[in-house]
Amino acid sequence: EAQVTQNPRYLITVTGKKLTVTCSQNMNHEYMSWYRQDPGLGLRQIYYSMNVEVTDKGDVPEGYKVSRKEKRNFPLILESPSPNQTSLYFCASSRSGYSYEQYFGPGTRLTVT
Amino acid sequence: AQSVTQPDIHITVSEGASLELRCNYSYGATPYLFWYVQSPGQGLQLLLKYFSGDTLVQGIKGFEAEFKRSQSSFNLRKPSVHWSDAAEYFCAVGQNSGGSNYKLTFGKGTLLTVNP
């Protein structure tokens, strides 16, 4: 089954404790992206990757890092999480090009206390 | 800058009634338009998409949307709503946002409540 998976689905952590949210897709997609969803703000792009070893900032990259060492994986790293990063995070993938629909993972709900 | 506006934050309809969710976009070139649905606790699922050609597009679950270039709109419709349609709906425009980024710009969503 074609899918995007994220782990963990739920995470509660404390300020400053480094964490990684994993994202994996099995569709051989070149393009992957991370979004955060906040009430009243919709979804905003954090980082994206056009292919292996090619990543760049989206609209709200502060406080986040990403890496793309393999085509299928695109982890999101919070080196020093803060409460304002409490949010619902989605990973997405698509074939290259903005005319292609993006496929979304189930989401990771992160709470930073 | 490109943007997507969904004027209605929350809509309530009765089961069996018709539905129209509004979406307006601001984009300089030919837009690639999408509607996604998010059920409670779930990720986003693509309902339908418009790239070119026929301006009335059919999607899954009985939804359709009409692209009107003159009004910069891409409204979502369904003739008869089912209780299972209760969810949040997002309109999005696919764009090349500069450099090599192919991203989706989303509206803020419309929450649909369905009364029995």
**pLDDT tens, residue by residue, A11-47:** 999 999 999 999 999 999 999 999 999 988 889 999 9
Tell me how long chain A is.
113
Rounded distance between C-alpha atoms, residue A88 and residue A90, angstroms: 7
What pLDDT shows up at residue B113?
Answer: 97
Q: Which of B43, B96, B107 sits opposite A107 (nearest CB)?
A: B43
State yes or no: cis peptide before B116, omega within 30 of 0. Answer: no
Write the class of the CATH domain B3-115: mainly beta
Q: Which residues of A touch B42 (CB under 8 A)?
A: 106-107
Which tops the pLDDT comparison, A102 or B80? B80
What pLDDT shows up at residue B12?
Answer: 97
CB contact under 8 A, B102 and A106: no
CB contact under 8 A, A98 and B107: no
Q: Which residues of A29-44 are buried (b: 16+ CB within 10 A; e: fewer)?
A: bbbbbbbbbeeeebbb
What pLDDT shows up at residue B101?
Answer: 64
pLDDT band at B29 (very low <50, low <70, confident <90, very high): confident
Give B50→chain A minimum CA distance, Å: 9
Q: Which residues of A touch B104 (CB under 8 A)?
A: 43, 45, 92, 98, 102
What pLDDT shows up at residue B96?
Answer: 66
* Angle at alpha carbon of residue A86, lines to A80 and A89, rounded to 5°: 100
Kindly list the domain boundaries of chain B, sorted by start residue.
3-115
